[in-house]
Structure 1
C-alpha cells in the first residue's frame, strides 16, 4: 500500500466509476484496476463493488475511504507546512461561498491574494449555505463564507462582512417613488423566493417571524436557485424580491431597479467565515483567513 494507490482508490470512490477515475488521474483503466486489486490483496478483502454502471465502496471500502482521505489531506498539509517553512507559499486552496459571497465578495479577495501569492492555486465552489457548510464539515473545502449561521457543533463561524437586504423592484413598479412599504402590502405582491437552504431566504423568513408576520401567508409566485436569476426575474417583471444590496449595486446605480425598506422588518445580516471545528487548517488556509480579515477591515 502506498499513497498513490490510496489516491487512485479515493478517485474511483468519488467518481463512482473506474473509467471516470482513469480520465481524472490520467491513467489507463486497466492500470487503475490493477492498483485496486493490489490494495484488495493487501487488505485481503473486497473494497469496491461494480453495480452495473456505478461503482460503490463495500463496508470495508467505506472505512478505507475515510482513512485514505485523512492521509491524503495530511500529505497535502505536510507539503504546505514545509514549503511555508522554506518561505515558499504554494499549493492548492479549496474554498466555497454561498451566492453573494461567491459572486461579489470572494472574487475580489482571491484576486488580491493571488497577486500576493502567485504560486497558490485557488478552487472555489459555489452553493447554498447548507451545501457549503456541509462541504466544510466533511473536509471537501477548507473554508466557506456563507450568509446564515448554523447550529452544527462541528462548525465554527465568525462574522466577516455586514450586509443589508432590501425589497428590490423594477424602476417601473408602482412603488418606485417610495422609500418603504409595509409587510402587509408585501404579502399581496408576486414574490420571487430563493431555494430552500439559501441564507438570504432564511434571513427573510426569520425577520418576518420576528416582526410577527404569519409566514404561512407568504405565497411566492416563483422560486429561483440563485441571485442572478432573481435579479433577472425582477428586471423582467416576474415578481419582486428581498435580496442583498451588494448584489444589485450596479442595477441600482443605473436606475433599472429600485430598493425599498420593509417597515418593521430587520433585514440586516452578516456573512460568516465558516470552518470545521476539528479539522487542522493548512498554512495557506491560515494565510488566506488573515488576508480576508485584513482586506475587509482596511
Structure 2
C-alpha cells in the first residue's frame, strides 16, 4: 500500500501521469494501474482526468493529505530501524522559517554534508505557521522557527537567542544620535513581513510592549525584499541581527540606536516523535555546536 500511496502522491503533485512516470522511473501504464488499484481499494475515484490535466477531487484531497502523513511516518520508522546499524545516514526532512533557513541553516548543512555525506537533507523554507503544520503532520522530521509556538501534538524547545534591531536607510538622521526613544520613529513607514511569520510576530510584540500604532505599514513576504526596500529609503524595519550582517558591514543600511533594543526572541525546534533517528541527532548536535560558536564570537570569546 505504501507504494500505491507514493505513486498517488507523485501523480497528484505532478498533475500529469507522464511526468509522474518519469519521476518514478516507471511506465505510464504501470502508474495508471497503481492509481486504479488504489481507487478500487478506496471504493471511489480520487482523480479528475482530462487530456490536459489530472486534478484531485474531494476524496482525492482527503487521501492526499493522509498519504503525506503516512509516508512521512514510514520514512521516519525506516530511519529508526536503519539506526540499528549505528551509522548516521538516510533522508532528513528539515523545515525552517525564513530567517533561520536563509541566513543560518546553509552553514549548518554545509558542515553536515562535509562530515556526514551519507545523510541526505531535504530543506523546506516557509513561515513559522506553515513549518509547524508540516511537523505536526509528520512531513518534516524537525522544524526550526522564530518566536513562540504552542501545540499539544508538537514538542517545542528553545535552542538560541536572537536579537531584533531597528534598521533604516543609510544616513538616516536618527542613526546619527547616540540614543533615541522608540516613539521618535512612530511616524516612519514600517516595512513588515506577512502575518504568520516569526519576524512579523516580533514586530507586533514590540508594538504591544511600547504601545505603538504605526501610522504607515508596508507588508512584504521576503526579508531580502525588506532589506532592499530599507536601503532604497522606503521605510524602516525590525529585523534579526543575523540577517543584516553583510548590509551593516558594507554600509547599505544603518541601525537605529533605540533605547531598550535589541528586542530579544528565541529560535526554537519543533519535533513530533518521541524517537530520533541518528541522522536527526547528528544534525541537532552540529546545529547546537554552530550556534554556540557563533554566540562566543559575538561575545568576543575565543
TM-score between both structures, scaled by the size of structure 2: 0.85
Q: Counterpart of 1:56? A: 56
Say if 1:98 and 1:146, in contact at 8 Å, map to a contact too: yes
* Counterparts of residues 106-117 of structure 1 (less than 5 Å): 106-117=105-116
Say if 1:99 and 1:126, in contact at 8 Å, map to a contact too: yes
Distance in 2 between residues matched to 1:134 and 1:78, nearest whole Å: 20
User: What's the secondary structure of 1:113's corresponding residue?
Assistant: helix
Contiguous gaps of at least 5 residues in structure 2? 294-302
Establish whether residue 268 from structure 1 lines up as the match of residue 264 from structure 2: yes
Q: Counterpart of 1:243? A: 239
Count of aligned positions: 291
Alignment match of 1:283 (pick from 260, 278, 288): 278
Establish whether residue 219 from structure 1 lines up as the match of residue 216 from structure 2: yes
Distance in 2 between residues matched to 1:156 and 1:96, nearest whole Å: 15
Establish whether residue 45 from structure 1 lines up as the match of residue 43 from structure 2: yes
Q: Counterpart of 1:143? A: 142
Alignment match of 1:255 (pick from 251, 256, 272): 251
> Once the two structures are superposed, what CA deviation does each residue of 1:231-273 show, in whole Å capped at 9, x if it has no partner?
1111111212111111111221222321124335661111111
Measured on the aligned residues, the alpha-carbon RMSD in Å equals: 2.5
Q: Counterpart of 1:36? A: 35
> 1:78: Cα distance to partner?
4.2
> 1:72: Cα distance to partner?
3.3
Distance in 2 between residues matched to 1:67 and 1:107, nearest whole Å: 30
Say if 2:161 and 2:265, in contact at 8 Å, map to a contact too: yes
Contiguous gaps of at least 5 residues in structure 1? none
Establish whether residue 295 from structure 1 lines up as the match of residue 294 from structure 2: no
Q: Counterpart of 1:158? A: 157
- Aligned in 2, Cα 1:65/1:251: closer, same or farther, shift over 3 Å? closer
- Aligned in 2, Cα 1:57/1:291: closer, same or farther, shift over 3 Å? farther
Distance in 2 between residues matched to 1:3 and 1:252, nearest whole Å: 50
Say if 1:139 and 1:279, in contact at 8 Å, map to a contact too: no
> Once the two structures are superposed, what CA deviation does each residue of 1:100-143 show, in whole Å capped at 9, x if it has no partner?
10112111111112222111111111111112111211222111
> 1:293: Cα distance to partner?
2.2
User: What's the secondary structure of 2:123's corresponding residue?
Assistant: strand
Q: Counterpart of 1:9? A: 8
Q: Counterpart of 1:233? A: 229
* Counterparts of residues 87-98 of structure 1 (less than 5 Å): 87-98=86-97
Distance in 1 between residues matched to 2:187 and 2:143, nearest whole Å: 36
- Aligned in 2, Cα 1:218/1:273: closer, same or farther, shift over 3 Å? farther
Segment of structure 1 superposing worse, 249-258 or 45-54: 45-54
> Once the two structures are superposed, what CA deviation does each residue of 1:14-47 show, in whole Å capped at 9, x if it has no partner?
4454344334323333221111112334x26124
Say if 1:18 and 1:55, in contact at 8 Å, map to a contact too: no
Could you list the structure 1 runs, at least 4 aligned residues long, displaced by more than 6 angstroms after superposition. Answer: none
> 1:197: Cα distance to partner?
1.3
User: What's the secondary structure of 1:181's corresponding residue?
Assistant: coil
